[in-house]
Amino acid sequence: MMTTNKIFTTGYTGKDINDLKPMLADLDAMLIDIRFAPYSQVMHWRKVYLKALLGEKYRHIPNLGNRTYKEDKISIQNLKLGIETILHLPSNVVLMCSCEKTENCHRRIIAEELRQTEIESKEIANWKTSDFFTQKVFFD
């Protein structure tokens, strides 16, 4: 059925790739790439690099991607199916896209949809391991 695992959201813009693995380890989570097209001009944010870096701790779920991202609009590929997919994963998850802030980002829509189904997600603004406990990202 549904997971009791924790769901986090984040964007990689302005972040250091070297903080990614320690953050995922501290959260006991896998990285879920929610970009529609998981490519970047910066090599280490490309799907192929992230998969090589994280192995089984990386998964791309295009159903949660914003298919109109090039038009500055939000149109998620298949929100219901994407959420169903993450709810059946056997671990905590960090939903990641490129946007630094959630205001105009599709991960805000995903978090709202989760909330409507009474599932809480937490935004992680800073990946520095030492800052996790001051960010109040952990659940009660």
The answer to whether residues 126 and 13 touch, using CB atoms and an 8 Å cutoff, is: no
Inter-residue contact 43 to 70 (CB < 8 Å): no
CATH number, domain of 95, equals 3.40.1010
pTM above 0.85, yes or no: yes
- pLDDT above 50 (res 4): yes
Q: Residue 10 and residue 26: Cα distance in Å, rounded?
A: 15
State pLDDT tens for residues 6-42.
999 999 999 999 999 999 999 999 999 999 999 999 9
Confidence of residue 2 (pLDDT cuts 50, 70, 90): low
| Model confidence at 136: pLDDT above 50 | no
Structural domain tally of the chain? 1
Q: Summarize pLDDT for 109-120 with one digit per residue, the tens.
A: 999 999 998 899
CB 8 within 8 A of CB 123: yes
Q: What is the pLDDT of residue 132?
A: 56
- Give a yes or no: residue 1 inside a domain: no
Q: Is residue 138 part of a domain?
A: no
Question: What pLDDT, in 10s, does the model give residues 79-129?
Answer: 999 999 999 999 999 999 999 999 999 999 999 999 998 899 999 998 986
Structure tokens at 87: 């709810």
Residues 107 and 9 sit within 8 Å (Cβ to Cβ): yes
Question: Residue range 123-138: average pLDDT?
Answer: 66
| Domain interval for residue 12 | 7-132
Q: Does residue 2 form part of some domain?
A: no
Residue 60 scores a pLDDT above 90: yes
Q: Residue 47: inside a domain, yes or no?
A: yes
Local confidence band at 5 (pLDDT 50, 70, 90 cut-offs): confident
Task: Establish if 68 belongs to a structural domain.
Answer: yes
